[in-house]
Chain A
């Protein structure tokens, strides 16, 4: 068996960095929306989901009127992707929308890394098939540039200039916790050498 190529990984955000950034984004969302009214936080699987849950927990901490279960969900985009032919089909994840629905809500989409923008394009299509939100905003942990579509994030954890040959790896306890490589929550830049 060929050995895994040696990769140089450097950590660019630590667990406490991620935590602080989410706290800031929660405040920014409340500032932008002038409160919690009509807010709906939707995570994009996989790693957007735990980030959305953490963000909701912080919103509830800041403003007790924010009820986490009624205001948090997840939006799967697999069936709306434009690269299915290249990436191959895979089993879609669940879409979970709170009973109030998305109509007239202020939806905040949450994802881990903003890159080409194609995931978000698919998410907007998926969302419009479910209903008609009043506003859609985008919150991401990392914006690494290299956009291929005219999209931008409203709330950015960290702007991270990267080369397109590099990988951005996000480790979150909820998803990566049981894996061997996991030590703590962090964002890494990994050089790809082939």
Chain B
């Protein structure tokens, strides 16, 4: 593994290696010294063309726990706003001494471009590109799911036979795409649900089942239901008549939550949650909701990714 660009091309063995490594990284947070010397002397650059406090902070925490140095490159205050190209920006960062670039970009495929065009010798980690992929989010979701299902016996296990329902704006969601491919690779069964206007063209070629009857799916007691955030910033078109209508049809309302309350069905959310829109307060605050575990696990998974990509390469 040289880069982490997408879960679609991530092999089963690599996916499992990341999850198993994350399992060990998670134990570091229980120790008196919550730091490993593993990436001492290496530099991780956070290059964010889109706002994201959570993902950036998570990557920063992960890099620092491994003793790497972190440079945060805020695009809004940088020369990119003066018209610098991606290539020049990246080569400048590399000249400063970056070993890995964690990039979020508004353009789908930006990370792929960076990795393929030979502009840089750094390891590239995709932290979200447009509506394409967000691989570390899918990895931390799979890790959270595996931990809830298998507890301390999770190491080495995949998600064979696990049923996951992803609900909401599939069209614009890179989280959904990354999850579909990773969950499929790990053997899980994926059902997509949401407004037909927010279902992408070509979804029939994905390894998923599409079902618009959310209440019917919840009655099957899936292992997890993943509520996607309604991304107000991407709702330029009229995809649904009103927020209230979305909530009635596709939100995990209190009434809907009651049908799965106190069952083994987990409620997942990539955050930040829009309470009252896609998820009710009762569902958000229940013990079935893994949102906070997902955040904590995000650090462990990102530590694993940084370690596996960087530790094997000679420092520059």
Contact = CB atoms under 8 A, between A and B. Distances in A.
Interface of A: 76, 79-80, 84-86, 88-89, 91-95, 125, 128-131
Nearest to A126: B36
13 contacts: A79-B38, A80-B36, A84-B38, A84-B312, A85-B312, A85-B313, A85-B314, A88-B312, A89-B308, A89-B310, A91-B17, A92-B21, A130-B33
A95 B31 CA distance: 11
B255 interface: no
Contact of B37 (A80, A93, A94, A130): A80
A125 B37 contact: yes
| B-side interface size class | 20 to 34
Contact of A80 (B21, B38, B310): B38
Contacts of A88: 311-312
B50 interface: no
A85 B315 contact: yes
B24 A94 contact: yes
A89 B313 CA distance: 8
Nearest to B36: A79
B53 interface: no
Contacts of B23: 94
Contacts of A91: 17, 20-21, 24
B312 A129 contact: no
A93 B21 CA distance: 8
A194 B110 CA distance: 46
B275 interface: no
B35 interface: yes
Interface string B294-316: 00000000000001111111110
Interface string B91-112: 0000000000000000000000
Interface string B16-39: 010011011001000111011110
Given A91-B20, A92-B24, A86 B314 contact: yes
A129 B307 CA distance: 18
B24 A95 contact: yes
Interface in B1-57: 17, 20-21, 23-24, 27, 31-33, 35-38
B24 A89 contact: no
Interface in B262-316: 307-315
A79 B67 CA distance: 11
Nearest to A130: B31
Given A76-B24, A85-B311, A94 B155 contact: yes
A139 to B, nearest CB: 24
Nearest to A94: B24
Given A76-B24, A80-B37, A95-B24, A89 B311 contact: yes
Nearest to A103: B32
B315 A129 contact: no
Nearest to A129: B33
A88 B155 CA distance: 21
A80 B24 CA distance: 13
